[in-house]
Amino acid sequence: MSKELATFAGGCFWCMVKPFDQMDGIDEVISGYTGGHVENPTYELVCSETTGHLEAVQITFDSTIFPYEKLVELYWTLIDPTDPGGQFYDRGESYTTAIFYHNEEQKQIAEQSKKRLEESGKFNKPIAVKLLPAKPFYPAEEYHQHYYKKNPLHYERYQIGSGRAAFIQQHWGNKHE
């Protein structure tokens, strides 16, 4: 059994948990903040756009069951990879996209996957997702953890109202139903 970490920023972290959480080989998905210069940031501080942090999820996974390549492929289907200014309704640096790699192998896999997506012709704009070395990850406040379970109706309304659900349906189909 090989436990590893993966960290992805994809806009609102509420929307990034459920698809990973439901996969075999995924042990834990934590919402939090990474990439910035402030230790132990709060949600309010990150939203102020002064910390450099992005909302992200950190995933503990068993790579023998769910390899990193599959995590990256799933990640692409959860976001608009061409938007450099945020994700859907959520704008600003804290809602931008990034793959935070934890080692050289993850970096190479992410680079290759990004290149395949760029060359696929699926999008007519450049892929804006940054590939960055992992930095300290700070778990978000408890009320943000597994939001889709704690507030299922609000979560569904947010997915639809933000435009995320329609974008995913249009570009990726029913992968997450």
**112-135 pLDDT per residue, tens:** 999 999 999 999 999 999 999 999
CA 112 vs CA 58, 59, 85, 131, 132: distances in Å: 21, 20, 23, 11, 14
Residue numbers annotated as active site: 12
User: What average pLDDT score do residues 38-57 get?
Assistant: 95
Q: pLDDT digit string (tens) for 65-119?
A: 999 999 999 999 999 999 999 999 999 999 999 999 999 999 999 999 999 999 9
CATH class in words for 3-172: alpha beta
- Residue extents of the structural domains in the chain: 3-172
**Contact at 8 Å (CB) between 38 and 53?**
yes
How far apart, in whole angstroms, are the C-alpha atoms of residue 9 and residue 46?
A: 13
* pTM, full prediction: 0.94
Angle (CA) 114-36-90 rounded to 5° is 65
